[in-house]
Structure 1
Amino acid sequence: MAYEAKTKATDSSVLEFIENVESAKKREDAYQLVDIFTEVTGYEAKMWGPSIIGFGTYHYKYASGHEGDAPLAGFSPRKAKISLYFATEDTSREELLQQLGKHEAAKACVYINKVADINVAILKTLISQSVSFLQERYPNHN
């Protein structure tokens, strides 16, 4: 049986999703992040699954045969923290994360409490690098 990605682009409203975020501060940050990601990527915000706001799309295919679509960059205003999703090469990512400000990093995402805790210029660089990195690695994007 073929693996099917759980997180797919949907037709759900990004604005409706943000308006349903409990915390007023997180809603404010989410709107700010939509503006930042849209400006940097040039793509409109789109819901991916029930809680990820993604920008752009790329199609990946691994040696294992696993393939699917994912956003070039995105974020999710989760209850505990805001999750930021971008992919870059490890060396530049680590250097940039050191300059980002208050955050926690995992393999695939970076967690922040609020936009005010981070350097937005560094965030923009990370987003831009993610788009370039993924478009080079997976050239059949849209």
Structure 2
Amino acid sequence: MKFFLNVLFALISLNMLSCQRVKKSDVPKAVKATFEAKYPGEDDPDWRLDRNDNFESHFKINGEHYRADFSPNGNWIETERNIKKKELPKIIREKLKSDYDDYKIVEIEVVDHHSKGIFYDVELKKDGKKQDIEFTIKGEIIN
């Protein structure tokens, strides 16, 4: 448990270093409008500017944490939510066990992307090297 908390703290710290908080008043109107249209009723997100100058909104829906990214002109890019391994489709869990059993799972996200659609992003680690693998709902690797 202590190891998990240390990893979680490191990930949060890294995320905070890679993103800069933005005042709500500094978020472009087009970004706010797209956010409000996509997530009606979610009117109090925390905003950050990522290293690509995209705007990240951090918010909750039904107690679940989400992050949605928007380009400066207001185009929605993607929405992500962390999930547990047991929430992955069975076919992906089986693929991880058969092909990546000697890897440690660092993070799992379900992603809704503007061009790729819904997929699962699994971050793995082995011998100090991290690797992200994106899976379709059917367990096919897309990256």
What's the TM-score bracket when you normalise by the shorter of the two chains? 0.3 to 0.5
Superposition TM-score, scaled by structure 2 size: 0.36
Q: Going by fraction, where is helix more abundant, 1 or 2?
A: 1
Larger radius of gyration: 2
